[in-house]
Amino acid sequence: MNYINKRVMHAYSYSFYLQEPYQLVGSTVTDPLDEFKKAVVSIIEEYFSNGDVELTASDLRELGSSEYYPYFIKRLVSMAMDRHDKEKEMASVLLSALYADVISPAQIRDGFFMLLESADDLAVDILDAVDILALFLARAVVDDIIPPAFLARARRALPESSKGVQVIQTAEKSYLSAPHHAELVERRWGGSTHITVEEVKKKIADLLREYVDSGDTFEACRCIRELGVSFFHHEVVKRALVLAMEIRLAESLMLKLLKEAAEEGLVSSSQMVKGFSRLAESLDDLALDIPSAKSLFQTFVPKAISEGWLDASFTKPAGEDGEIQVEDEKVRKYKKEAVTIIHEYFLSDDIPELIRSLEDLGAPEYNPIFLKKLITLAMDRKNREKEMASVLLSALHIELFSTEDIVNGFVLLLESAEDTALDILDASNELALFLARAVIDDVLAPLNLEEIGSRLPPKCSGSETVRMARTLIAARHAGERLLRCWGGGTGWAVEDAKDKIMKLLEEYESGGVVSEACQCIRDLGMPFFNHEVVKKALIMAMEKKNDRMLHLLQECFSEGLITINQMTKGFTRIKDGLDDLALDIPNAKEKFGFYVEHAQAKGWLLPSFDSSASDV
């Protein structure tokens, strides 16, 4: 995005000065990223002078340009690295304060990845840059603003010989694996005049324990207010909910405190949601100590929403697939079996066997969950598996999955995009590629992207992914690029199949034998893609004004080589693109009408095709 902005501005500047014969007038074209970088330096300098977290957050919001926030992270840390321990501690405190409320978790991760990428440059100017940056990274993990999984993902994305990898290794070995590492990391910059995150957590725990003993809500609210860390009130929410689970007699007290704090405006709506979200994300671990944690949390959420102190938009991100409710046994069993089926497919590359396995499960209502599992597992693997997942989607769309299933599956994926990004580096870009590839493969129509986007919050990570997918599709030579999006060579399945189908049909049209053409189709070994044979055969029949192709389709249908589903899909694809086809073949609609009548008479098409073909 930023590089695109630069290029657009440069191109505009260049074209402006070519507009002869008008008099040339010098003009400075500003780069918004450069302006942002200059402005944040002043904000950071002022923060290091006054230590006012609230003012800094306000200044950053007023500055706007939120898409550049990763650069703010990079600048803040790199400036602090070259200063005293006080400023280093202040930088870490500020990052915790801005996390989620001002700067999204994904932007925090992007900012740290940029720092790792520039570690070699930082080491030129800053003594012990590797160790200092490693400590910032470890501190971010301890403060829960970066997940531990980020370290492994980032390492794989960096050159092995880079100092960025050294930073990660130092963070892991010297700081995060040491006994009592949290305390060690929190107090490493002990010269700070600021209260540390660890100290805040202790004060919050103490005041909540005192509240359990006294029951004085007014006094508890006063203590929370005196902490002076409104940006960290999500910790109050999380700790209060955990105490309500641990000490059942304290449940009503804790919920009363949170309700009172929300009604007074002491704990903001965003901090309340953040506290619930943080607890939801750790429910699996919490359940090891408190077996009833999930069921209790399930009762807290609707109560809080109904009483008005938790925003109804709370997305309840608990568990791997985003459901807050304890999943019933059937869904859990389905997910487990789906993972096994997908793993077997990645090993065997046997689509018909996978389809049979799904049919045996007999749970079509969970098709969207299967799609989400498929793509999530593929994203965590190599390009081979990503390509296999895209090819499988084409097969499933014809044989088992409706368009609604596909749409719902992608909505599930995009709703949990931020959670996925915790484990998978560059998750947003990869999801955009899967979406765009689905459109190119005719699994989704472009209009489906609008439907998917309309079901997501406007400013969430998932919405940005949908916009990215639209951009990819609109690019020049998008079809060819997206068919090769997983690092393609000449051997990718769908593209190769299209080439082979075209060649075998041309050979048949020029006098080939039906049996040989059928054998070639059989040899492709892609029965889920035979709709492409139907589509190409019908177009060739229109172009050549030769109905010989109908004889081939009849033979394929009679032999069971092309199923009624594949035949219907092929005719549907022609119908959907008929207006464009008519630009090259003027009588395309007339010819297609004849082909539809012929196909219906021969029983090639599903009865459901009648209504969709009636307007041809």
pLDDT one-digit tens code per residue, 148-190: 888 988 999 899 899 999 999 999 888 888 666 676 777 778 6
Instruction: Pull the structure tokens for residue 387.
Output: 């390509």
More confident residue, 260 or 229: 260
pLDDT digits (tens, 9 = 90+) for 507-518: 998 888 999 999
Indicate whether 529 pLDDT > 50.
Answer: yes
Q: How many helices (H) and strands (E) does the chain have?
A: 36, 0
Segment 215-239 mean pLDDT: 86
Residue corresponding to tokens 């793509």: 375
Indicate whether 614 pLDDT > 50.
Answer: no
Cα(27)–Cα(543) distance, integer angstroms: 55
Question: What burial letters (b/e) apply to 100-124, b meaning 16+ CB within 10 Å?
Answer: bbbbbbbbbbbbbbbbbbbbbebbe
Cα(486)–Cα(387) distance, integer angstroms: 6
pLDDT digits (tens, 9 = 90+) for 168-179: 999 988 888 866
Indicate whether 35 pLDDT > 80.
Answer: yes
Q: Three-state SS string across 432-500, please? A: HHHHHHHHHCCCCCHHHHHHHHHCCCCCCHHHHHHHHHHHHHHCCCHHHHHHCCCCCCCCCHHHHHHHH
Segment 359-387 mean pLDDT: 89
Instruction: Pull the structure tokens for residue 359.
Output: 């049919």
Candidate from 100-104, 136-140, 391-395 with smallest mean pLDDT: 100-104
Cα(333)–Cα(327) distance, integer angstroms: 10
Indicate whether 410 pLDDT > 90.
Answer: yes
Cα(361)–Cα(377) distance, integer angstroms: 19
Cα(441)–Cα(169) distance, integer angstroms: 42
Indicate whether 135 pLDDT > 50.
Answer: yes
More confident residue, 422 or 216: 216
What was the pLDDT predicted at 322? Answer: 41
- Could you tell me if 553 and 562 are in contact, meaning their C-beta atoms sit under 8 angstroms apart? yes
Cα(501)–Cα(553) distance, integer angstroms: 13
Query: Which residues does 442 contact at the CB level (< 8 Å), separation at least 6?
Result: 394, 397, 573
Candidate from 13-22, 414-423, 447-456 with smallest mean pLDDT: 13-22
Instruction: Pull the structure tokens for residue 182.
Output: 């949290």
Cα(472)–Cα(232) distance, integer angstroms: 39
103 has which bridge partners?
A: 99
What was the pLDDT predicted at 5? Answer: 42
What was the pLDDT predicted at 425? Answer: 61
What was the pLDDT predicted at 23? Answer: 46
The region that residue 362 occupies, defined by phi over 0 for left and psi between -120 and 50 for alpha, beta otherwise, is: left
Closest CA to 235 of 212, 208, 265: 208
Coil/strand/helix, residue 240: helix
pLDDT digits (tens, 9 = 90+) for 462-520: 888 898 898 888 877 777 677 777 754 333 456 677 888 999 999 998 888 999 999 99
pLDDT band (50, 70, 90) for residue 70? very high
- Could you tell me if 31 and 6 are in contact, meaning their C-beta atoms sit under 8 angstroms apart? yes
What was the pLDDT predicted at 196? Answer: 57
pLDDT digits (tens, 9 = 90+) for 555-580: 999 888 888 877 888 898 888 888 88
Indicate whether 417 pLDDT > 50.
Answer: yes
What was the pLDDT predicted at 202? Answer: 84
Residue corresponding to tokens 């990428």: 117
Query: Which residues does 558 contact at the CB level (< 8 Å), separation at least 6?
Result: none
More confident residue, 33 or 437: 437
Closest CA to 131 of 180, 54, 86, 189: 189
What was the pLDDT predicted at 321? Answer: 40
